[in-house]
Amino acid sequence: MLAGNRHAAYLNGGRRGRSPVLKSASEPMFNVPPVVAATAAVLVLIQIVRDFVLPESADLAALAWFAFIPARYDPTPLLHGAYPGGVAADFWTFLTYALLHGNWLHLGLNSVWLLAFGTPVARRFGTMRFLGLFAASAAAGAIAHLVTHTGDRAPMVGASAAISGFMAAAIRFVFQPGGPLDLWRAHGEVSHLVPAAPLSATLRDPRILAFLAVWFGLNLLFGVASLPILDSEQPVAWQAHVGGLIVGAIAGWAFAANRGPRRRNRALLLGLAIAAVLVVLAVAPALVQLVVG
């Protein structure tokens, strides 16, 4: 995920006790749930339109309308109302920024992570919860970025916060014996149904700890140290990644703890309601200024 300008910056043991997993005769090389494929296709289509259809002036206007810009929520008279879209854009940019990317390399990296962690999440939790988690994690990432970059005029773009949410939701089961990222897993559609590890066991798993250490290390390296990622001049918006990660971890726990479909849906609605309340609180100063001024 990049924060800035592309005009924007990049938002950027033994086998004993193993759970039995059913086996199928074969597994297609590209076996991606439709909702994941559709999400990736939408991201690619948007990038095609921006790069090959829109003139540069229109692309800059699209960033002003749909990227996440902390200065949009500054209640001071000089900045308030300086960006298009009005109050509606104050809300929709908490999500729409995740559909934009700084360049094709940025999009490609996010697509790889989307396929890796979005696929098991979509298979385990279903289409609606996948989309709800995408929206909630993206909003949480925007809120984290807003809190740490108050008044910043640089637009933030990228689906990294949402993908960080998928990663956190999946991490409790994808590394388990027979799980999607277990080297010895059985091939088939049921690998995503292995029991999720308890949180205490997850935090003791050396593979997960190593994965999280590398993830946090890279975010700190490119974010806190303000180092550019690859050939970009913009630092990674690491706070947004952490915001998405936290919401994804909570959602993964809530979905696992509420096993019946109705209970899982209630957990999803509760999570979306909490995210909506946080968004309202985030834009409250700008709304008050609009009403008073």
Band of residue 4 on the pLDDT scale cut at 50, 70, 90: low
Q: In this structure, is residue 10 part of a structural domain?
A: no
Cα distance between residue 94 and residue 44, in whole Å: 20
**8 A C-beta contact, residue 162 and residue 43:** no
- What would you report as the CA-atom Rg of the chain, rounded to the nearest whole angstrom? 20
Q: What is the pLDDT of residues 143-192, one digit of tens each?
A: 999 988 888 888 999 999 999 999 998 888 887 766 666 655 555 556 66
Q: In this structure, is residue 17 part of a structural domain?
A: no
Cα distance between residue 197 and residue 175, in whole Å: 9
Cα distance between residue 154 and residue 140, in whole Å: 18
Q: In this structure, is residue 44 part of a structural domain?
A: yes
CB atoms within 10 A of CB 198: 12
Q: What is the pLDDT of residues 24-75, one digit of tens each?
A: 444 444 589 999 999 999 999 999 999 999 999 999 999 999 999 998 887 7
Counted domains in the chain: 1
Q: In this structure, is residue 27 part of a structural domain?
A: no
Q: In this structure, is residue 18 part of a structural domain?
A: no
Distance of CA 186 to the CA centre of its chain: 28
Q: In this structure, is residue 12 part of a structural domain?
A: no
Residue 54: CATH number of its domain:
1.20.1540.10
